[in-house]
Amino acid sequence: MTANRRGLLIILSSPSGAGKSTLARRLREWDAEIQFSISATTRPPRPGEVDGREYHFTNEADFKARVNQGGMLEHAHVFGNFYGSPRPPVQAAIDAGRDVLFDIDWQGAQQITNSALSANTLSIFLLPPSIRELRNRLEARAQDDAETIARRMDKSWDEISHWGSYDYVLVNDDLDATEAQLKTIVTATRLRRSQQPGLTDHVRHLQSEFEELT
């Protein structure tokens, strides 16, 4: 199927707690056509997580087999577990002109940015306003125990240190303001010439009409 518009691969990365999931949810409420890339992972589900909704939960043997068969667009080892983005749903979506949103770490972002799909990629990094606020948010989310929060805080600088390789960097201070900035970036990137393959035909029609009328 060909579409008038090529789908975008929208990558959101940040240290844990900076606001990725919240902003990803708001982006999808704004445009329900944006498809979320559901990652595969070898980590066990947390309470409330449903297989096929937050993640495809799997084991290491299955994960590695899928990587070896080329079934992952990118994959990485994060916090002691494997995570990867299954390729087939992404390819189908962008061929049909639908955008795909990825909540992945810097390693995955780098792999996609360096892949054959780089021309259709938009990468955005979220920074917290301060490290103190990052910790407050992790605590306020009340999802993790103290040890997990400490581990996420330990890892946060590693993630933040890769901010410089993203297309856009937003400081997520005021949530509504960041949401507005994110929508502006997506709207503008959708209008990139490379995202609009239908323009060639349109200009051809303009040319015929031009020759007819002048």
From 17, 84, 97, 108, residue interacting with ligand ADP (rule: CB under 6 A): 17
Q: Decide: is 16 part of the binding site for ligand ADP (CB under 6 A).
A: yes
Stretch in the footprint of ligand ADP (CB under 6 A) among 13-21, 54-62, 64-72, 117-125: 13-21
Stretch in the footprint of ligand 5GP (CB under 6 A) among 83-91, 164-172, 178-186, 198-206: 83-91
Task: Spell out the residues 6+ positions from residue 122 whose beta carbon is closer than 8 angstroms to its own.
Answer: 8, 9, 10, 11, 167, 168, 185, 186, 189
Provide, rounded to whole angstroms, the least separation between the CB of residue 101 and ligand ADP.
Answer: 12
Choose from ligand 5GP, ligand ADP, none: what does 175 bind? Cβ within 5-8 Å by kind.
ligand ADP
From 3, 119, 140, 188, residue interacting with ligand ADP (rule: CB under 6 A): 140
Stretch in the footprint of ligand 5GP (CB under 6 A) among 98-106, 127-135, 168-176, 181-189: 98-106
**C-alpha torsion sign, points 1, 192, 23, 38:** positive
Q: Decide: is 18 part of the binding site for ligand ADP (CB under 6 A).
A: yes
From 5, 56, 64, 137, residue interacting with ligand ADP (rule: CB under 6 A): 137
**C-alpha torsion sign, points 27, 35, 144, 79:** negative
Element (H, E) at 123: strand 121-127
Residue pair 5/97 in contact by the 8 Å Cβ criterion: yes
Choose from ligand 5GP, ligand ADP, none: what does 26 bind? Cβ within 5-8 Å by kind.
none
Judged by CB under 6 A, the number of residues near ligand ADP is 14
Beta bridge partners of 120: none
Residue with smaller CB distance to ligand 5GP, 8 or 126: 126
From 10, 24, 78, 94, residue interacting with ligand 5GP (rule: CB under 6 A): 78
In our burial notation (b when 16+ CB lie closer than 10 A, e otherwise), range 75-113 reads bbebeeebbbbbbeebeebbeebbbbbbbbbbbbbbbbb
Q: Which amino acid is at 135?
A: R
Phi-psi region of 48 (alpha: psi -120 to 50; beta: other; left: phi over 0): left
From 63, 83, 125, 166, residue interacting with ligand 5GP (rule: CB under 6 A): 83
Q: Decide: is 172 part of the binding site for ligand ADP (CB under 6 A).
A: yes
